[in-house]
Amino acid sequence: MPDKTAPPHGTDPATAAAKRPAPKVQRSIPVNINGKPYFHAGDPAMPLLWFLRDTLRLTGSKFGCGIGACGACTVLIDGKAARSCVMPMTALEGREVTTIEGLEGDALHPVQQAWIDEDVAQCGYCQAGQIMAAVDLLRRRPRPTDDDIASITNLCRCGTYPRIRKAILRAAEALHGEKK
């Protein structure tokens, strides 16, 4: 059986090698996640969600819809809520990503504590994304109105929206020290 990798008979091997396209070299994409530097050397179009879950094993962000509609995958990118299921790794070069795992320090974040105090979670699947969206909202609107809270587009299939609203208001009070 003939060697299929060898150049055709009578062709100079050096000429055949020169005609072959050079393999594409992918460069690493630097990204900071929860305050630590990482490099992604895989498919540059890979969604951030898969890098977080499959490569780093940060499983707080969940896959819900894959089109950025439900918010189960919400993380903070440079402090702003973003849907990680539609965020390609190429868009993250040199940026700071914070996941639900990155909120915790020595104590729970006030939003996380408010979620516990108001007993928000039922199934819990969407809660990491809900919390990250609430953290972003409270950064932008320290004393949110009901309309501000209603502007969060994350979905909860269990329908815990009244408890989510109470938790966001409780966290606002904890963060800023006074009631509306």
pLDDT tens digits along 7-20 = 556 666 566 556 66
Task: Write down the CATH number for the domain with range 29-176.
Answer: 3.10.20.30
> So where are the chain's domains?
29-176
Q: How confident is the model at residue 107 (pLDDT cuts 50, 70, 90)?
A: confident
Residue 113, token pair as written in the block: 């504590």
Per-residue pLDDT at 105: 77
Give me the torsion for CA of 64, 67, 70, 74, rounded to 10°.
80
Q: How confident is the model at residue 124 (pLDDT cuts 50, 70, 90)?
A: confident
Quote the longest CA-to-CA distance of the chain: 86
For residues 31 and 19, give the distance between their C-alpha atoms in angstroms, rounded to a whole number.
Answer: 36
Q: Outline where 13-143 has alpha helix (H).
A: 13-19, 48-50, 100-103, 110-117, 127-140
